[in-house]
C-alpha cells in the first residue's frame, strides 16, 4: 500500500508535485528523467525507504518489535487493535496537521480546538442521547468557523500562521474557560462516549475492533484520496512555491483556508474519540498540536511545506505512541521520562534529516550543468519573475 503513493518522497528530485508538468529534462545520472512511467515497485520501495518519510516505517517496525518483546501480551486477542485505537486520536490530529504543513503553514490551535470541543460536548450533550446529533452538527460548524478564521487571518491579513493560530488558540481557550469557569460539568452520556470507548466484539482474528480504529482507517483512506486529488496536488504546490502556484491561476488563499478547515475538522473528530476514550476534562487535548507537528516532522514531511507523505505522518504518530508505551514497559523513572522521550525524538528527527539533506546537496554537484537544469518548471518561472 505504501509504495503506491506517487507523491511520496521516492523521487530523488524531491518534488512530489511535478507529476502533471513536464519537468525540464535533467542531464546526469543521479537525477532520474521524468518519463511519466512508474519505476518498478521494488525500486521505488528501495528509494522510498531511505528517505525520512520511508525511514519512519523502519523506525516504527523496530520500535514495535521492541514493544512486542517487552510486552508479549500485546499479541493477545484484541490487544493490538486496542493499541491502534488509543493511538487513533493523535494519528488523526497528525493527519489534519499534515495538510496544513503541506500547504506551508502551521496550525497551533489544534489542542485548543480539541479542549473546546470536548468541553462543548460534555456540557451540551449531558445525559440526553437525543442531543448527540445536533451537538455533533454544532461541533462541525464550530470547526469550520475556526478553520475559516485561521485561514482568513493567515491568507488575507498575512499574519504568519505560527502567531495567528497561537492567537486563535488563546481566544478559543479563553472562551472555553469563560463559558465553563474552567471546569466542565461532567461526562456526557455513555451512548456518545461509546464512539471512542467501545468497539465490535468477536471479530475473527482481531477479536475486538474499536470504533476508533474504523474511524482512523476511513480517515486515512480519505486523506490519501485527498492528497492525490487535484486539491491535494495544488496544496503541495502552494506549500512548495505559493507564488508560482498563484501564477497558474489557483487561489492559494482558498487552498490554505481549506487546509485549516481540514485541520480543525480533524481536531474535532479526535475530540469526539477522546471524550469516549478519556472522558471530559479541560486538560484533554493539551499539547496535541505539538505532538502532531512532531509526528508529521518525524514522518519526514518538510516543515517548510510542499513535500511529504501523508502515511508517514500517520506512522510518525504511531512512533510517538509506541515510544510512550515502550517507556512504560522499560520502567523509565517518571522524572527521567520527558528527557529520555525528547532525546529519542531529537535523535530520530535529526539523523535522517542530516543524511537526507546531504544526499540532496550531493546530487546537483554531480550534474554537469549545475543548478539551473534541475529547476522544476514552476521553480524556474518563479525565478524569472524574481529576476
Q: Which stretch binds another protein (CB under 8 A): 51-59, 153-161, 211-219, 220-228?
A: 51-59
What is the distance of C-alpha 17 from the center of its chain?
Answer: 18
Q: Which stretch binds another protein (CB under 8 A): 140-148, 294-302, 332-340, 375-383?
A: 332-340
CB-nearer residue toward another protein: 66 or 214: 66
Q: Which stretch binds another protein (CB under 8 A): 34-42, 240-248, 293-301, 330-338?
A: 330-338
Site residues for another protein, 257-276, by CB under 8 A, read 274
| 66 touching another protein, by CB under 8 A | yes
The DSSP output letter for 305 is: S
| 317 touching another protein, by CB under 8 A | no
With a CB cutoff of 8 Å and minimum separation 6, the contacts of 64 are 322
The DSSP output letter for 204 is: T
| Cα separation values, 293 from 182, 239, 302, 339, Å | 26, 16, 11, 18
Residue 355 is placed in which grid cell? 543524511
| 181 touching another protein, by CB under 8 A | yes
- Percent helix, percent strand, percent coil in the chain, to nearest 5: 70, 0, 30
Residues in contact with another protein, total (CB under 8 A)?
60
| Cα separation values, 280 from 54, 174, 267, Å | 36, 17, 15
Of positions 13, 45, 74, 364, contacts another protein by CB under 8 A: 74
| 281 touching another protein, by CB under 8 A | yes
117, 271 contact by CB (below 8 A): yes
CB-nearer residue toward another protein: 68 or 254: 68
CB of 164 to another protein, least distance (A): 25
Of positions 153, 209, 224, 348, contacts another protein by CB under 8 A: 348
238, 255 contact by CB (below 8 A): yes
| 183 touching another protein, by CB under 8 A | yes
| Cα separation values, 43 from 47, 61, 378, Å | 6, 20, 27
Q: Is 210 helix (H, G, I), strand (E, B) or coil?
A: strand
Positions that interact with another protein (CB under 8 A): 46-47, 49-50, 55, 58-59, 62-63, 66, 71, 73-74, 79, 82, 86, 89, 181-187, 197, 274, 277-279, 281, 283-284, 286, 321, 323-337, 340, 343-344, 347-348, 351-352, 355-356, 359, 362
Amino acid at each position: 500500500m505504501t509504495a503506491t503513493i506517487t507523491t511520496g518522497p521516492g523521487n530523488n528530485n524531491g518534488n512530489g508535485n511535478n507529476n502533471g508538468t513536464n519537468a525540464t529534462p535533467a542531464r546526469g545520472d543521479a537525477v532520474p528523467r521524468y518519463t511519466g512511467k512508474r519505476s518498478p515497485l521494488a525500486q521505488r520501495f528501495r528509494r522510498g525507504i531511505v528517505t525520512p518519510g520511508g525511514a519512519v516505517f523502519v523506525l516504527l517496525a523496530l520500535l514495535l518489535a521492541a514493544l512486542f518483546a517487552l510486552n508479549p501480551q500485546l499479541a493477545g486477542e484484541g490487544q493490538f487493535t486496542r493499541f491502534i485505537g488509543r493511538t487513533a486520536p493523535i494519528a488523526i490530529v497528525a493527519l489534519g496537521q499534515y495538510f496544513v504543513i503541506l500547504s506551508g503553514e502551521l496550525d497551533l490551535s489544534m489542542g485548543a480546538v480539541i479542549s473546546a470541543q470536548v468541553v462543548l460536548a460534555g456540557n451540551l450533550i449531558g445525559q440526553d442521547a437525543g442531543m448527540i446529533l445536533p451537538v455533533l452538527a454544532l461541533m462541525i460548524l464550530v470547526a469550520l468557523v475556526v478553520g475559516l478564521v485561521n485561514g482568513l487571518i493567515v491568507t488575507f491579513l498575512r499574519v504568519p500562521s505560527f502567531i495567528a493560530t497561537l492567537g486563535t488558540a488563546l481566544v478559543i481557550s479563553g472562551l472555553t474557560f469563560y463559558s465553563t469557569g474552567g471546569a466542565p460539568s461532567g461526562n456526557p452520556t455513555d451512548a456518545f462516549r461509546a464512539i471512542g470507548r467501545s468497539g465490535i466484539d468477536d471479530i475473527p482474528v482481531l477479536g475486538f475492533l474499536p470504533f476508533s480504529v474504523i474511524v482512523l482507517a476511513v480517515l486515512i483512506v480519505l486523506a490519501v484520496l485527498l492528497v492525490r486529488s487535484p486539491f491535494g496536488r495544488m496544496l503541495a504546490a502552494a506549500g512548495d512555491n505559493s507564488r508560482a502556484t498563484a501564477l497558474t491561476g489557483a487561489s492559494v488563499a482558498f487552498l490554505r483556508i481549506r487546509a485549516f478547515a481540514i485541520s480543525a475538522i480533524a481536531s474535532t473528530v479526535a475530540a469526539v474519540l477522546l471524550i469516549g476514550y478519556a472522558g471530559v476534562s479541560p486538560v484533554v487535548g493539551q499539547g496535541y498540536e505539538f505532538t502532531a507537528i512532531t509526528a508529521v516532522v518525524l514522518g519526514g514531511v518538510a516543515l517548510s511545506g510542499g513535500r511529504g507523505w501523508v502515511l508517514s505522518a500517520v506512522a510518525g504518530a504511531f512512533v510517538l505512541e509506541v515510544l510512550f508505551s515502550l517507556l512504560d514497559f522499560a520502567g523509565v523513572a517518571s522524572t527521567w521520562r520527558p528527557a529520555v522521550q525528547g532525546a529519542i525524538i531529537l535523535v530520530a528527527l535529526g539523523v535522517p534529516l542530516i543524511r537526507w539533506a546531504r544526499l540532496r546537496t550531493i546530487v546537483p554537484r554531480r550534474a554537469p550543468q549545475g543548478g539551473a537544469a534541475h529547476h522544476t518548471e514552476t521553480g524556474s518561472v518563479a525565478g524569472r519573475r524574481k529576476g
